[in-house]
Every structure is written in structure tokens, then in C-alpha cells.
Amino acid sequence: MMESLRNFLTGPTLIFVILICALPFVFLGTSSIGSVFGGSFGTINGEDVSEADLNIASNTALQRFKSAYGNDFDFDMLDEDVRAESIKQELIVQKVLQSGARSLGFINKNTINDAKKQIVQNPQFQVNGMFDENVYEAQVNSLNYTKEDYIDLMTNLIASELYRSSLNSLSFATDHEIFELTNLLEKTSDINYIKISFDGLKKELVNTMEELNEYYNNNQYLFYSSEKRNFKYIVLDQANYKNNIEVPQEYLATRYEDYLSKFENSAQTRISHIMIEKTSYESTQLALERIKEVEELLNAGNNFSELAGIYSEDIITKDIGGDLDYFEKDIFPVEFDLGIKDLKLNEISEIIELEDTFHILKVTEINIQEPLPENQIKDELANELIETESLALMMDDFNATEEMIFDNSSIEDIADKLSKEVLISEFYTSNNYNFDISSQEVKEFLFSIDSQVNESIVIELDEKVIVMSISTIIEPSLQPYEIVAETVADLLSESKSLEKLALMENELKSIEDPDDKQIFIDAYNYVSSDVFIDVKRNSSLLPSEVLNEVFKNIPGTVINVDANNGDKYIVEINNFTNPAESDITAILDQYRSFSEERMSSKMSEIINEDAFESARVNLTNLAF
């Protein structure tokens, strides 16, 4: 849960996630949901959990895994319990944010309008770059949504993003906390240390042939070759199918006429408004008198933007001259459409009455767009058709291949049926795999213990389909000494070095006289000693893992630390020194941003505990 929370608080916005990631799942589905969930899904913090919520949560979980393991990651290959738990965590985060947004009033007219704008601007619902209401309605209806239901879904997501942003802005650090952090990180220590270099020791060792042979014979399991496999395969490439598509000129002509007809009413009109809220007055009549007062001032020649700043009761737009951006029929009320229908640039509408408000509109900008050149549009239409039809032809062969595999047809029979060439790969090991078609699924099948020789499988990639079967498996075998001699020598030296390192450490511990200890140090060119004064915990003089242990201890302590590179450090801590207050004050600003990041992490933990871990989860009908 904590990882999901951090991703929500610091990752990309929900709007990007839902528009770019979730919609393909909403429209294409995901097998992971169908096999895990069913029936009524319950509530989280009083918010109903719908099938759309499960789609979004499933897709978000998938994106988490893909960001960690690559775009070829197959979510359905996970254990069902792991898959279900990851989706459940995303559901809880999603619904806790939604309930928080609702409690703060973020689900309102503004977020509803934002949702409509997001829908209009979504390429999923556009044809030739323009919003098509018929496409929008057809797609959402196919999911058993009405147009209004889908707007509600988007509104909830936008409101959740506002709430997420507010949580993310809660991180702050007081001056006292920054001061304490600076004091901690500027603290210094005086130390003496002895270092035994692992690489230096290893280079000094000499292995006899007898030792090498003995190590090789006693550790043969280390020197087996890796299993090697190769495979036969057929590639169905969409690019090859495109060459077989012919585009009828009649089709292009008809579609171009459709394009031109949609351009007749494509002028963009930008509007501003002055709004009077009926509920702000004792009666509708008083509100009407107020808007008429504004109308008289406008007719007298007063500036519209200035009057909007004085009189408009739309707190969002009054300070920007009442600007409502470009008019969109699917976003604004039909009364607005009628009110500006015959207006020219800079003209003002009559008073427009809605259920709760009065408005006066002004046309501030009219952009008349010219249609794109005929050749350009026809080229785009031809490319779209070729793309669609070539994909359909490839998928026909894909489906036929699946049927033949189900009937236990060999890859040669499949190739003959599809008039394709059977190719054969190089031999690969699991650690040396560089097949030119990058696919984790191909690699997993090749090296799976369940895969059998001559067993065929078909794998669908982005613009290709690969049909493959394992051709040959070469089992691991003990490699002759001559081939692995260098590896044997390296492993033996490493083993002997570790043993000698432990013996030398124990011997140093047993030497109490400083002169004798120095004689011991001088006897080896890979053993050294030094004294550091005022070393900081973030110093580059010593490995960070060594300094971390130093600052965990107290003066007078002797510690033994193994560095990540194998070096051994024996460190005597003499004392610690805190920086003077004047020194801290001089560098305080350098630590301010670091401290705020640290506080952000702490705030995430608080939010996780107070909001997410205490969420009221009622998913008893969810088949986890």
C-alpha cells in the first residue's frame, strides 16, 4: 500500500493516466479482470466500486509493473493472488482519493466542465482531429454507459486528481527541523583506521596447478556450461500485408466530401461572460434587476472586462475578464449556443437565463479555420485504411494460426498454409539472449521448463505476430578445465582471499602494542592505515557504508566493517564534533530543499496511516 501511495502522490497526474492508459483497457478489456472479479463489488469509504473502477485499477497496477520490468511485462503471468492484491491496493487508493475529493466539494460544476473538455480533446473520440459525438456515444454505449455516465466517471477522476495534488502540497519543514538536520549532517568525527584491500590481497596470491585441479574437481557444479536452445519461427509482419492493400478512389472521394462538410461549421468562437447567481439574492427578480443594471452599463459603453471584474459572481473567471475559452457545444448550455449564434466579433448578447443563473455573453475572438489540402487529407485517409485493412489481414492469419496450433499442426504445416518461410534462430542461453525481436514472452517460452521441442506457440506483438517452436535443446555439461581455467583461478583466488582476510583481521585484533601493529601493517603492501580529522558522514574519503557505521557508534569504539568492494576496515572512533551555531546558520539554505524532500516522505507516511490504512473497505463480494 505504501508504494502505491507514493506513486500516487509523486507520479504523473491522474488525468494523464486515465486518458493515455486507462481508456485502452476500458475499450479493449483485460483478461485479468474477467478471471478475478464478478458480481457486485462493494464499497470503499462509502464510494461504490464499479466495473470501470476495476478496469482503471487493473490498468494502473499493470503500469506499475511495466515501469519496473519493461513494456513486455505480462500481467496475466503473475500468480493470481499477487495480481488480485495489487489491483485491490490500487482500488483502495483510487476510492480513498475520490471520497476525500467529494468531502471537500471538489466534485462540482467546474470539474464537470473540465471533464467535458477532456472528453472533447481526447483522440479516442475524434475523427480527423475533430471531436465526433457519434464516435463518443458509440464507444461509451458499447460499455453499457450513457454519455452522462461517462462524464460522471471522468469528473470523479479529475476531482480525485485535485485532492491528490492537495495532499502532495502538504509537505513543509520548519526552521527548527532544518537546523537539526543541518547539525546532524555537518557533524564530524576523528578516526584512525586500518584497511585491508581485498583486490590487493587477491593479486598477491599464487595458485599452484595442484590447487587449481583440486578446486576444479571439488567444485565441478560451478563449471557446467549453460543450457542452450534454439527455435524455429515464422513472422507475420503488418508491414508486409500493407503491400497487398488497394485503396479505391471512390472511397477517398466520399470520405473527403465528409471531411469538407464537417468544416462548414468549424469556426472557433471565444466568449466571455458576466454571471449573476440567483441564489445570492432574496428573489429571482432582484437577481434579474442586477443583471439588467449590468446590461445598461454595457449599453452605455462601459468596458466588458472591467464590469466582469466588478459585477460577475463567477469567482473563477471574474478576474480574467469573464473569459470562458472557446465555445464547445458539448460543454456549454444550449442557451449559450442560441445566444451567440448571430453575434459578430465584440458584440454582446441579450440576457440569458439558466436555472440558477443569469448571463451576458461577449464574443471576444472568432477563428475561421481553412480545410487542409485535398491531397493531404486523402493521403491520411489512404494511410488509415491501409493500416486498418493490413492489421485485419494479419489478424486473420493470426486466428488461423491459433486454430492450427489447437489442431497440433507443426510449424512447417502452418508456414505452408500461410505461404511463409520457416526461419531458425541461433543458439541462446538464458544469460546470453539477443534475439532481434525484443519480446519477454518469446524469451520466457524459449527457456521455460514446461516448453517442449516442436511444440508451437503464437505470440502477438505490437505490429507483428511470431509463431515459434523449440528446435533443439543442448543440455548443460561439465566444461573441460582448459576452457574454464581462468574462471577456476579467479574463483580459487577469491576463496583463498576471503579466508586470509578473516585470519588477518583476527591477528590484528590480537595485537595490542601499537608498534607491533604498525610492523604488521608495514609487512603487507595491501594493508594501510591513516588518520582522518573532522570527517563528515557524506565524505568521499571513505566508503559510505563505512561512514554510516562510524556515525552510528560512540567515541572509544572500535568497529569492523566490510566495504561493498570486499575491503576490510578496522576503525577506531576517537570523538565527534558538532558544528558551531554560526556555521549552521551560514549554510542553512543549502539544506532547505533537502529537508523539504525529507518532510514530504514523512508526510506520505502520515497520509498512508491516517487516510489509507484506515480506509473502510467493504469488498466481501470481490473474489480475491
* pLDDT cut 90: percent of the chain above it: 50
Name every residue whose Cβ is closer than 8 Å to that of residue 372 and which is 6 or more positions away in sequence: none
What's the pLDDT tens digit per position in 69-116? 777 777 777 788 888 888 888 888 888 888 888 888 888 888 888 888
C-alpha distances in Å from residue 66, one per residue of 62, 74, 75, 465: 6, 8, 9, 21
Q: Are 136 and 119 in contact (CB under 8 A)?
A: yes
Q: Does the pLDDT of residue 511 top 90, yes or no? A: yes
35 — pLDDT class (breaks 50, 70, 90)? very low
Q: Which one has a higher pLDDT value, 217 or 13?
A: 217
Q: Does the pLDDT of residue 337 top 80, yes or no? A: yes
* Alpha-carbon gap, residue 129 to 554, rounded angstroms: 68
Note the pLDDT of residue 31.
35
Q: For residue 551, give the nearest of 530, 520, 531, 578 by alpha carbon.
A: 578
Residues in the chain, how many?
624
Average pLDDT, the chain: 84
Structural element, H or E, at residue 60: helix 51-69
Q: Does the pLDDT of residue 356 top 60, yes or no? A: yes
Q: Coil, strand or helix: which one is 572? A: strand
Q: Which one has a higher pLDDT value, 332 or 368?
A: 332
CA 92 remoteness from chain centre: 18
> What are the CB-based long-range contacts (under 8 Å, 24+) for 205-209?
205/493, 205/496, 205/497, 205/500, 207/489, 207/492, 207/493, 207/496
Note the pLDDT of residue 45.
79
Strands 423-424 vs 527-536: parallel, antiparallel or unpaired? unpaired
What's the pLDDT tens digit per position in 574-623? 999 999 988 888 877 777 766 555 555 554 554 555 555 667 777 765 55
What's the pLDDT tens digit per position in 189-215? 999 999 999 999 999 999 999 999 999
Q: Which one has a higher pLDDT value, 47 or 227?
A: 227
Note the pLDDT of residue 508.
92
* Alpha-carbon gap, residue 33 to 24, rounded angstroms: 14
Which strands form 617-618's sheet, in the order they lie side by side?
47-48, 43-44, 617-618
* Alpha-carbon gap, residue 571 to 561, rounded angstroms: 8
Cell of 139: 464507444
Note the pLDDT of residue 269.
84
Q: Does the pLDDT of residue 168 top 70, yes or no? A: no
* Alpha-carbon gap, residue 526 to 504, rounded angstroms: 12
Note the pLDDT of residue 479.
95
* Alpha-carbon gap, residue 608 to 157, rounded angstroms: 20
253-262, 295-304, 316-325, 396-405: the lowest-pLDDT one: 253-262
CATH topology for 267-367? Answer: Chitinase A; domain 3 (3.10.50)
pTM for the structure as a whole: 0.48
Note the pLDDT of residue 84.
84
C-alpha distances in Å from residue 102, one per residue of 10, 13, 107, 270: 21, 18, 6, 31
Give bridge partners of residue 571 from the DSSP assignment.
193, 559
* Alpha-carbon gap, residue 309 to 315, rounded angstroms: 9
Note the pLDDT of residue 250.
92
Cell of 270: 471565444
End-to-end CA distance of the chain: 16
AA identity, residue 221: Y
* Alpha-carbon gap, residue 123 to 546, rounded angstroms: 55
Q: Does the pLDDT of residue 501 top 80, yes or no? A: yes
